[in-house]
Structure formats: C-alpha cells, structure tokens
Amino acid sequence: MARRGSYAKGIAKREEILSAALEVIARNGYGRASVRELADAVGLSQAGLLHYFASKEELFAEILRKRDEVDRETLDAAHADERLSMMDGFVEVMRHNADVPGLVQLYARLSAEATEADHAARPFFTERFRLFRELSVESIREGQQDGTIRADLDAERIASLMLAAADGLQTQWLMDPTIDMAEHIEYLLTLLKPPAAA
Amino acid sequence: MARRGSYAKGIAKREEILSAALEVIARNGYGRASVRELADAVGLSQAGLLHYFASKEELFAEILRKRDEVDRETLDAAHADERLSMMDGFVEVMRHNADVPGLVQLYARLSAEATEADHAARPFFTERFRLFRELSVESIREGQQDGTIRADLDAERIASLMLAAADGLQTQWLMDPTIDMAEHIEYLLTLLKPPAAA
DNA sequence: GTCTATATCGCGATAGAC
DNA sequence: GTCTATCGCGATATAGAC
C-alpha cells in the first residue's frame, strides 16, 4: 500500500484481479469463466491478465486461496469465542457457501481436476486438506477435553470424514439446491456428542 | 444375444465399447481418455464410436452406469446375506474402488462437471444420488429395526452424509492414496451404533 | 455400420510492439 | 505493464463416401 514502485503495484493489481474474478465466478459459475471473461471484467486483455498469473490453473487456485483467507477469519472468530468452537465457524462457512454457488462450483470442479498428477492446483488442495484436518483435529480434541465430544473417538478419522462430508455435500447441493449443507454438517456433529450430553 | 438383425448387433457393439472403455479408463485415468483413445482401444475410428453414443459426455455417463450395475450386485449380495447389510456391501465396493483409480477419477471429475446445468451426465448423477439414498435409508431403517443402529437417528440425513462422505473420500484418496476409504466409511458406520452395542 | 475428411471451435499460451 | 495478433493444440461433432 505505502510501498512504491512496480512491485507494490503488481501486488495490488493481482489483488484487484482476484477480487473481480471472485465476483464474476460467484455470479456466473465456473463453466463460463474463461481467462478472457475474467480479463474483461477487470478491464484487461487476456494476455494482460496472464502477465500476473502463470496459468489459468494457478489463477483459479489463487482465487480459492483468497476465499479461504476470508473464511479462515470466520473459523478463527468462532475459535476465539469461548462459547463456540472452530466447528461452529465451519458450519457458518457452509451456510455462507449457499450464497455463492459459483464459488462452490469452482471449488468442486477444480478439486476434481486437480486430482490429475501434474495439475498446477494440486499442491493447493493437498495443503488445504492438510490444514483443514489439522485445525479439525485440534478442535475435536478440545471438545473431548471439555466433554462436548465423545472421548473415545479417533480425531484424525473424524477430521477426514468431516472434510469428505463437506466436499461431498457441495456436489449434492449443486445438483439439488434443496439440500441444506450446513444442517447436514450440524447433524454429523451431533453424532459426535457423548450419549449423556444434550 | 439371441436377437437378430442390426438392432441386436448395435446393442452388442455398445457393450463391447463400454467394456473396452472401462478397461482403458481404469488403466489410464480420465485425463488421457479422449474419444479417439477409447475408439482406438476397441478398433474403431473416433467417428465410428460416436455412431453409438450421442456425445462424449453420454458415453462417459454410460461407462459409470455400467460400473454401477456391477457394484449393485455386491450390494444386493450383501443385502441377501442375512448376516450382512447393504452397508457391508457398500464398504466392500469402496474397498474395491482402491483397485481402479481411473474409474474413481472418472467418477470424481464427471460428477463435478455434471454440476453444470446443461451437462448431459447430470440426469445420471441426480438419479444415482436418489437411488443411493433410497437404498441407504432402507438399510438404515432395517438396522434400526434389529437394533444395530441407533433408533433416534434420521435415516434420510445419514444417507446423504454417507453419500457425501464416500464421494469426498474419493477425492481425498486421489490426492493422497494413503487414505483408506473403506476404513473411513466403516468408522462412520460405527458412529451409528447404539451406545450399548459392541 | 464404419470410415475419411473436415468443419469448427475456443481456448490457453506466447511473441513482440508500444 | 499492457496490448494486438497469432500460434497451435486437441478436441468434439458432422457430412458424405463406401
């Protein structure tokens, strides 16, 4: 911001591109989101946009990275609130997802494409999965400490199942928007409670 | 089979194409599976193959449909065995999936692409999801009857979560094959047991 | 029913001017 | 830093011969 010269400008422009792309995709979905289309939205030519990102795949990965940064704040806020846990923030993020179908679709499609061995976005997803599991395990263990989650559960397995359920629900919801993603995650969370607890 | 004339021949050829395509994809994955490649495998030209299928998307959907037919037998066999339930068959199918990464990838990628409104494979997936939920709900209710599953659970929600977990685990596994898909599904199933049950 | 040949396409990427 | 122009790929789909 306060920095001078082309470097700072480049950073700022990247951010501007990402913000614009985020809006376009949220509105129009992944299918019609070519580099050209995104370039138009920010007032650049296609080549001009690709000056900032090595490839389309990396651009898309950066969009999701930026989205995750925003969502991460929701998670941290919930974690900081002593009446809540990271899992409450997670449910809130899922609830918010229902407002941005285009982004949900981008996530679903790019994560599927990134299963290809040489896909540029693959490192993004493997790291994302790792971090999600790490945060979840931490949150689950906290719940086990304070008695809100069954102590006998395997936090690692639950974390992977949580991630899987969230991703799978997004595809189901894209096919049939009457599915309530957040409610299903909440229901899964109730399965983790001790028999005695409310 | 016993039928005569061009119609029966066409049906047989379709089956031959699907079988060959199934093998090629299981071996090479989705990424390198163009219509041309699949045509080569069965000894047809690309145009020759498309004489039997309206489009690539429909061809791929048919491949998955055929795969589901095979897997369905595993489910039914488990259901018929009075010591088992459909869910046991489901775990077995997931275990088998680890042997056919190409098919898992085809499923993951095509289901993501089929979230596009006008995608030819979309009806296949919506129907598949519906059927999976139907069979799962039935199986869960049976488990609730005979006391192996908590009676207070919402079978519909569990069914959707089961489907979501299965699909999500496949993407995770494609990114990192050390994940044990079947084991995770089994673990999810244990969460459904009554507190008293073993 | 199957092939050859081609229409047509859109896109991502790159070269080079300004 | 941005544009114009174009390359070049790979693909699906189709027309029409045999």
- pLDDT, one tens digit for every residue, chain B (198 residues): 444 556 777 788 999 999 999 888 988 889 888 999 999 999 999 999 999 998 999 999 999 999 999 999 999 999 999 999 999 999 999 999 999 999 999 999 999 999 999 999 999 999 999 999 999 999 999 999 999 999 999 999 999 999 999 999 999 999 999 999 999 999 999 999 999 755
Query: Where does B1-53 sit in CATH, by number?
Result: 1.10.10.60
- Interchain CB distance below 8 Å, B169 and A164: yes
Q: Exposed, middle or buried: residue B40 (CB in 10 Å: 0-12, 13-18, 19+)? A: middle
- Interchain CB distance below 8 Å, A172 and B122: no
Helices B181-190 and B155-175, interaxial angle, to 10°?
160
Which element (helix H / strand E) includes A44? none
Closest-CA distance of chain A to residue B167, Å: 5
Chain A to chain B Cβ contacts (< 8 Å): 115
- At A1, the pLDDT band (50, 70, 90 cuts) reads very low
- The phi, psi pair for A85, rounded to 5°, reads -130, 170
All structural domains of chain B with their residue ranges = 1-53, 56-190
Q: Answer yes or no: is pLDDT of A17 > 90.
A: yes
Q: Which of A109, A168, A187 minimises the CB distance to B154? A: A187
Question: Does B56-190 match B1-53 at the fold level?
Answer: no
Query: Where does A55-190 sit in CATH, by number?
Result: 1.10.357.10
Q: How far is CA A42 from the centre of its chain?
A: 23
What is residue B19's three-state secondary structure? helix
Superfamily of domain B56-190: Tetracycline Repressor, domain 2 (1.10.357.10)
